[in-house]
Amino acid sequence: MNKIEVIKEEVFNLFPSKNKEDKNIYCKREYIFPNHLEPMIDISKKLCDKYGGDKKICEIASLLHDTGLIYKRENKSPIGHESRSLEYAETILKKYKFEKKEIDLILNCIKATEVDYKPITNDEKIVRTSDILSQFYSMHFFAKAHFYEDWNIYLKFFEKKITKGFDKICFEDEKQEIKPIKSYYFKILKEYKKYNY
């Protein structure tokens, strides 16, 4: 087994199975892998081919970027998961004896998924873009509705995520590709608000 496969197995096992009792249901491996991590990895590889990124760096960063949703999480709120993801990533990368240069590149790619981070390198832009594209292209947004107890709070999340997410896309081709999806999402939100009592 190569290092990427070993890390993938570690991350898979970090996220609990749906059979385990846990209030953070959207962190179950059966949800996070098909609705976010797997699509993100596939997209990052395609973007690496298109824009000349490092597939190994981008795949590992994609695998590790949301581990803080589980690692050392103490309450229901996901706030702070980015710093916990960085801590977990550094621990795992050192465990498997990655070189310091590779660790730094991967950690910077993980930082690039944060909303306010300004990506510098091509790999950072690829991971940042892959993170949000995986949400637009999968059932991610819709599956998340299941985890909200209040429909109106979910709708606010959804609207904010569409806008801020779109702004995270670093490549013009991908922005153009997502524009019709973004427009459609806003159209259905507008229609819903029109008939909401």
Structure tokens of 141? 């947004």
Structural domain for 20, as ranges: 3-139
Beta strands in 31-117 (DSSP E): none
Please state, in angstroms and rounded to a whole number, the distance separating the CA atoms of residues 6 and 146.
Answer: 31
Residue 167 covered by a domain:
no
| CATH for 76 | 1.10.3210.10
Residue 191 covered by a domain:
no
Residue 151 covered by a domain:
no
Q: How much of the chain, in percent, has pLDDT values that exceed 70?
A: 94
Residue 197 covered by a domain:
no
Task: Using alpha carbons, select from 130, 123, 116 the residue that is nearest to residue 36.
Answer: 130
Task: Using alpha carbons, select from 153, 178, 157 the residue that is nearest to residue 167.
Answer: 178
Residue 94 covered by a domain:
yes
Residue 59 covered by a domain:
yes
Residue 60 covered by a domain:
yes
Please state, in angstroms and rounded to a whole number, the distance separating the CA atoms of residues 12 and 114.
Answer: 22
Is pLDDT at 34 greater than 90 in this prediction?
Answer: no
Residue 161 covered by a domain:
no
Is pLDDT at 1 greater than 90 in this prediction?
Answer: no
Domain tally, the chain: 1
Q: What is the three-class DSSP state of 147?
A: coil
pLDDT tens digits along 59-103 = 999 999 999 988 887 777 677 788 899 999 999 999 999 999 999
- The mean of the pLDDT values for the chain is 89
- Exposed / middle / buried, residue 140 (Cβ in 10 Å: 0-12, 13-18, 19+): buried
For residues 163-191, give the mean pLDDT.
95
